[in-house]
Amino acid sequence: MKILLMGNPNVGKSAVFNRLTGAKVTESNYPGTTVDYTKGYMRLEGKDVEIIDVPGTFSLEPKDKAEEVAVKMLKENRDSIIICVIDSVKLERGLYLALEIIEEGYPVVIALNMWDVAEDKN
């Protein structure tokens, strides 16, 4: 099983990644690029699960190299579970990407991050 952590840039995907994997990471460049992504593993119900921290993107219509890599990684991992990490302060922006991924037929779990910051801002 493979889980892709997706979301806008700077929403805390890496913090979620570190929590899930215990920060057992392998940083790699996507083939043919200098765009980094991080891989790690966790155990779930006695099985190893690969977790990939995908570069941040605002949309499935890429506007730069990092977003191109994110969209390619999504398409190459059709059978993966997607955890879409959303900044609780910027819900609309994050939900836009989540809805795009859902509309493409991927199984998506929404993870609201930075909830404490959102509460402080009411």
Q: Say yes or no to pLDDT of 94 above 90.
A: yes
Q: What is the CATH number of the domain that holds 101?
A: 3.40.50.300
With a pLDDT cut of 70, the percent of the chain lying above it is 89
The predicted model gives 65-78 an average pLDDT of 94
Domain count, the chain: 1
DSSP letters, 92-122, are HHHHHHHHHHHHTT--EEEEEE-HHHHHHT-
Q: Which two tokens stand for residue 115?
A: 């909830």
Phi and psi angles of residue 57, each rounded to the nearest 5 degrees, phi first: -150, 150
The predicted model gives 48-60 an average pLDDT of 95
Please state, as a whole number, how many other Cβ atoms lie within 10 Å of the Cβ of residue 56: 19
Q: How confident is the model at residue 26 (pLDDT cuts 50, 70, 90)?
A: low
Which pLDDT score, from 0 to 100, does residue 20 have? 92
Which residue spans within the chain are E strands per DSSP? 2-6, 25-29, 36-44, 47-53, 81-87, 108-113
Domain residues for the domain of 32 are 2-120
pTM over the 0.95 mark: no
Half-sphere exposure of 37 (CA within 13 A, CB side): 26
Query: What's the mean per-residue pLDDT of the chain?
Result: 89
Question: 8, 97 in Cβ contact below 8 A?
Answer: yes
In the chain, what is the straight-line distance between the N-terminal and C-terminal CA atoms, in Å?
38
